[in-house]
Structure 1
Amino acid sequence: MGKYMGRYNDDYFVDFEDMTSDVEDRRYVRSDKRDDRFDRRQYSDEPRRPVRRREDANRTQRRVTNVYDNRRSDARYRDDRGYSRSRYHDERDYDRGYHDRGRDRYGYDNFDVDGTRSNRNRAPSPDRRDPRQGSRRRRKKPNMFRVAVISVALLLLIAIIGGIIAGVSAASKPAIHSLTVSEVAADQVLLSWEKVNKVDGYRVMMAKGDADLEEYQTINDPDTVTATVTGLEQASSYRFAVTTLRGNKAGKPTETDVVHTLPSAPEITTIQSTDPGTIHLEWSKNDSANGYIVEYKKNSEDYSNDTTLSIGDPAQCSADITDLAVDTDYTVRVCATADLGGAVKSAPSAEQTVTVTAKKVEPVPKAADQKADAAIDPDKPMIALTFDDGPAVNTDSSDRILDVLEKHNAKASFFMVGYYASQNPDNVKRKAELKMELGNHTWDHSRYGNDVTPDDIRRTSNQIHDITGQFSTCFRSPGGMTTSTILNECAAENMAAYYWSIDTQDWSSRNADAVYHSVMDNVKDGDIILMHEIYDSTADAVERMVPELIAQGYQLVTCHDLITLKGGAEPVPGTQYVNAFTKSEF
């Protein structure tokens, strides 16, 4: 018989003699590796010199017995090719693998020499512990780099998913882009934005100060990309926002920065040059302002910082501009300022023009109150004949008209130009002596509407006063173009203003018949009739119509008496009348 090479038992080999084997003359070689790849029997025809361990006989015999017993039991667990099943193949063979090695499941030798379990020979295997000592398998340390990579990947995935969700949400509720505010005024602003596709409209919101946004307007036209927000308070802070509408869903509002409305522009109430080289200016008070800026310039120049006065007291509503060129026209305007986190300047007031005087001019006192002529019957028809642009300088038409009125004991109102009055003072004096109403028609009739200044009116009143000792008691605007500045000056001088209900167009036709028929064919009770005393054709027409009007029962009275007696109340200074029953708007 050949020799059988015993099983590898941890760190030594043992030879067995006189033992039979199923396979003659073969050596069973067990790998000294613990890896699975080598944990099986291999066959070899070449004998291998066994490694013998020097031990005493008793110990050797004890190990021989153990190996022999294990060899017999091992035959039951070989496959059909004779290979021993690995102890790692499955959990069922887990313990068997250890029996195949002569160990129990806890890493101890199975049997002692007397067949009893022994714990003396071996310590527990490092990868197999008593369950009472903890886990049966060694726990692997986590790979921190792999954990970090996986964590970063998860975070990126979450961010991508969140972005997709946000994008879908934003696409369903598109936002407004490029929202701008322009044309900021005292009571309104203009909002504009870029058009957004696939929406049904827009919603405009606003808030004053720190208040919450509230809906101001809903725009149902998606092509409309502007909105004017009105009704705002002057010198106040506002926030505005616009959002898209898609069905009943609104997108995220796009909000503007804080917008400051401008202070309201003041109104010039008085402008005059009463001292040489000086302009005296007064304006309306703005309760929201913290000051004012007065700007002035010669008519031939532009505004500049050198021609500006700053008023830091909001209660001061007047100023004197000095060191000006005399006999020169100046234009003046006023702006209000407010402090809203910074200086905010209002739009300028309407410009006023004044001629700087070269000599001292006394302020115009108020005209004396008038009393209606007691001889006038208020129950009978009455009309007021009025004449502009006089007195005539190069013709006697003014005196001819006075002759007719004096002859028939009639009265009329004369709106005179200050310069012409200075050129024909005798005619002015005669009008006063005949108790005609002395009216004011500005200084030289060269300015209209907003160009008319208080100084134009006051210079004429002064001129009439210099000639007659009394001030003008009524006013008519050149061309009928009345402004608030004019009416304010009229109120200051205790004068009412008068328009007309019949315009004879005598300045255009220069025809006596046309003037005559324009009156006689249209006259009615309470009318104010417009004519001009500087035309001979008008004087011819007056000589024909006055006796005929009287014959028809009309009383020819002044404007003051017409309003007082026919209208039922004294005319109000600073108010413009069209006829005895109607006040005019301008």
Structure 2
Amino acid sequence: MKTVLAVVGILAVLLGAYLPARAEEAATCPTDATAPAETPVVRVPTEGGPAYGGMQYPRTVNLGPKEVALTFDDGPNPENTRRILAILDRHCVKATFFMVGIYAEKHPDIVREVAARGHTIGTHTWSHPNNLRHFSMASAQSQIRRGFAAVESALASAPVESRARVAPFFRFPGLNDSGHLISWLGKRNIATFSCEFGADDWRAISSAEVRRRGLRNIAYVGRGILILHDTKPRTADMLSSFIITLRQQGYTFAQLVPQEGARDLAAAAPDPLIRPVHKAEKEPSATLGAVLKPSLEPATALQ
């Protein structure tokens, strides 16, 4: 009998040690009880510059069924990016922001805020010319190079953790890619990103229509990368309801992050576009088969 009691006691101790760990794993978002506290990460290989997104390419990132990665293009934007950051915080969702260099230069404080809140940062050229195919190779390369430089410059005095949020990720404006430029990026170990679906939020449609189109397109494909724009008030207006509805329909969210060591790999490439992360001198204190073809971006460059 004593032996049995001893075994029961040992099991109770082990179970007591196990339950808190499980409870911690299952922690919920403090401002959204329906959501987990952390967004799972999907580590994306970038060596050789692969291109991701079933809308254009034969491969995509390793997302599970009904798993969605939110991405936002064209910011940072002083009117809308912070609204979107607050909504993402409320629902404990991390996303990827593909930033335009000229706006990163104008609003470095917002770049730093995006990084400080734990989101991934990619780039989207210097001034968002809608079709780099119409540029000379030298001019197109300059657009890409200046975009990376502007984002890194905005984070120059930020903590190491924030500067490391700049990933070797690039998205072509208008999704108008070029095989020559993808090859050029690949030699610098920069991955190209398209998407699986959009919500047409750049169009002059209501926030309700943006939400409807986004939900419809996601349901059609089932999983993948969603492209939105943090320059559009209609996107911020519908985002909270959109996240809630997707979760009610059984979807989950994932954050795209570069595979471990990808940043160093890109920084070590010949003629790199991204620099290694060193400690700042002064730290501040604190392939999917289904393909949709909605139009995703305006036909003119941003001004």
**TM bucket by the smaller chain?**
0.5 to 0.7
Q: Is the 8 A contact 1:404 1:546 kept in 2?
A: no
Matching residue within 388, 395, 398 for 2:81? 398
Q: Name the one with the larger strand percent.
A: 1
The CA RMSD over aligned residues, in Å, is 3.0
Going from structure 1 to structure 2, the CA distance change for 1:380 and 1:447 (only over 3 Å counts) comes to closer
- Aligned-pair CA distance for 1:482: 0.3
- Aligned-pair CA distance for 1:447: 5.2
Inter-partner Cα distance in structure 1 for 2:77 and 2:63? 33
Inter-partner Cα distance in structure 1 for 2:87 and 2:176? 30
Residue 385 (structure 1) aligned with residue 82 (structure 2) = no
Q: Is the 8 A contact 1:504 1:530 kept in 2?
A: yes
Q: Where in structure 2 are there 5+ consecutive unaligned residues?
A: 1-40, 45-61, 156-162, 267-286, 292-303
Residue 558 (structure 1) aligned with residue 243 (structure 2) = no
Deviations 1:7-53 (A, max 9, x none): xxxxxxxxxxxxxxxxxxxxxxxxxxxxxxxxxxxxxxxxxxxxxxx
Q: Which amino acid aligns with 1:422?
A: E
Matching residue within 429, 433, 451 for 2:112? 429
Q: Is the 8 A contact 2:65 2:223 kept in 1?
A: no
Deviations 1:340-377 (A, max 9, x none): xxxxxxxxxxxxxxxxxxxxxxxxxxxxxx9739xxx9
Residue 516 (structure 1) aligned with residue 203 (structure 2) = no
Residue 581 (structure 1) aligned with residue 288 (structure 2) = yes
Report what 1:195 is aligned to: none
% same residue: 27
Deviations 1:259-316 (A, max 9, x none): xxxxxxxxxxxxxxxxxxxxxxxxxxxxxxxxxxxxxxxxxxxxxxxxxxxxxxxxxx
1:179-578 matches, within 5 Å, as 372=43, 381-393=66-78, 395=79, 397-446=80-129, 448-450=131-133, 451=135, 453-468=140-155, 469-470=163-164, 471-524=166-219, 525-560=222-257
Q: Which amino acid aligns with 1:495?
A: I
Going from structure 1 to structure 2, the CA distance change for 1:556 and 1:371 (only over 3 Å counts) comes to closer
- Aligned-pair CA distance for 1:379: 5.4
Inter-partner Cα distance in structure 2 for 1:383 and 1:526? 6
Inter-partner Cα distance in structure 1 for 2:63 and 2:181? 30
- Secondary structure, in 3 states, of the residue corresponding to 2:189? coil
- Aligned-pair CA distance for 1:429: 1.1
Q: Where in structure 1 are there 5+ consecutive unaligned residues?
A: 1-369, 565-569, 574-579
- Secondary structure, in 3 states, of the residue corresponding to 1:530? strand
Inter-partner Cα distance in structure 2 for 1:390 and 1:475? 14
Inter-partner Cα distance in structure 1 for 2:196 and 2:251? 16
Inter-partner Cα distance in structure 1 for 2:66 and 2:42? 19
Deviations 1:78-113 (A, max 9, x none): xxxxxxxxxxxxxxxxxxxxxxxxxxxxxxxxxxxx
Going from structure 1 to structure 2, the CA distance change for 1:505 and 1:379 (only over 3 Å counts) comes to closer
Inter-partner Cα distance in structure 2 for 1:459 and 1:472? 15
* TM, length-normalised to structure 2: 0.57
* TM, length-normalised to structure 1: 0.31
Q: How many residues align?
A: 195
- Aligned-pair CA distance for 1:475: 1.1
- Aligned-pair CA distance for 1:550: 2.3
- Aligned-pair CA distance for 1:498: 1.4
- Aligned-pair CA distance for 1:493: 3.6
Q: Which amino acid aligns with 2:69?
A: A
- Aligned-pair CA distance for 1:511: 1.5
- Aligned-pair CA distance for 1:560: 4.6
- Secondary structure, in 3 states, of the residue corresponding to 2:43? coil
- Aligned-pair CA distance for 1:390: 0.5
Q: Name the one with the larger helix percent.
A: 2
Inter-partner Cα distance in structure 1 for 2:188 and 2:117? 23
Report what 1:174 is aligned to: none
Q: Look at both structures and tell me which one has the larger radius of gyration over its CA atoms.
A: 1
Inter-partner Cα distance in structure 2 for 1:515 and 1:460? 28
Q: Is the 8 A contact 1:510 1:538 kept in 2?
A: no
Higher relative contact order (CA 8 A, sep 6+): 2
